[in-house]
Chains A and B, each alone.
Chain A
């Protein structure tokens, strides 16, 4: 039994190593081989992405020998593939069956600067980073916040926008400020905070108030629904989607005091320094010439 377990563990680790590190290069081949698939990349589901992932370890070694280590800038020639979770208005959301929003437009501007064609792939928020690390996509753009821990696993570009985490409560709530949350938690009250899984809101809330007070949901809409149904007392979420949620649902308000302020950046694989540099260069130009601000202003209407 012990030996069997050790063997399984070893196998799992080997598999992890192969998929984790080998793949960013050889998938270049993979994707090139089937350019048709990327055509409708916008509709591609995460499930499909995983299929492809399973193929990589087997093909990995061949591909590595054939192509030079730094094969190219992007996984597919002439195409910049961006992964996002299109349920985060106004950064990314569906307009009909196209994904639009701040991130989509900034990515399009960057692609134009680099002379690349942009493809957007919608996937679970949690899967974006894995997809970047394993070379399924070139960049992850989904209102992602830079943290120390994350920087060890992925590269981040220059920040292109500022995110504010705010608190949504029901109109009749006793919570009037962020301090009230802390006070209630300190007083040992049974206060529950709803967040979106894997977001910095969830991370900071867990850090500040403790794991027992934080309930995370697959997306922001579910967290807001939990608030409406009385399952949690407040929701900590990004300011922009919060505005949309409050506008769409009666009886909800956003507290005046901000919870935290943070910088959004583009996630890029650690194996692709070249792409990081180019994107930073493009982004710097776009910020300097006011394009980024224009896009932000277009989507974020001043109150």
Chain B
């Protein structure tokens, strides 16, 4: 589904990603782990071109999205993204947050979008917050709504950029619960996270990144119980 070929990203002289080649297949739940500064968030943000790769190519759904003439807005409609800091539109109500893009991009009528929003809100048990503003919600509620906002676009893949890192500990569970349900429904997911429990339970594949490259990958058992690389062992010994 997503082919990443020889991807490099530099900020000035700082090489953040070096020659990453990777293939994410439909239905996979790929969890990316690694120490901070390892480039995992940048890697994720390159996938929907929130970061412009310095070189290399990315092909999504048979289309090379790094090609100059690509309509990136169209591509992003099919790639949901959830951010560490939620990034709910502060000026809009919960329902408007969810329906803004479907309506403005003429994918749904207002009625359809509202109905879809309510359906999704019910799914995450937040239907009563439909008319609240983001500032009135807890972190866990915000993140669940951010997930719903991405889902409302009916994406083919969901990208999660440390979705629980900014949450108070007691709210992490409710967000991970929604992500698990999503995984069970068969959504293709790429998740950057520090939640090793989640990685173990949900991932079909774990990527360990360090120093801008993928050091090691495999099933959760392979990576967590039987890491081969010294750096992986070192990292896991610190977080587990």
Q: Do A and B share a direct contact in the complex (Cβ within 8 angstroms)?
A: no
Interface residues of B, Cβ cutoff 8 Å to A:
none
Interface residues of A, Cβ cutoff 8 Å to B:
none
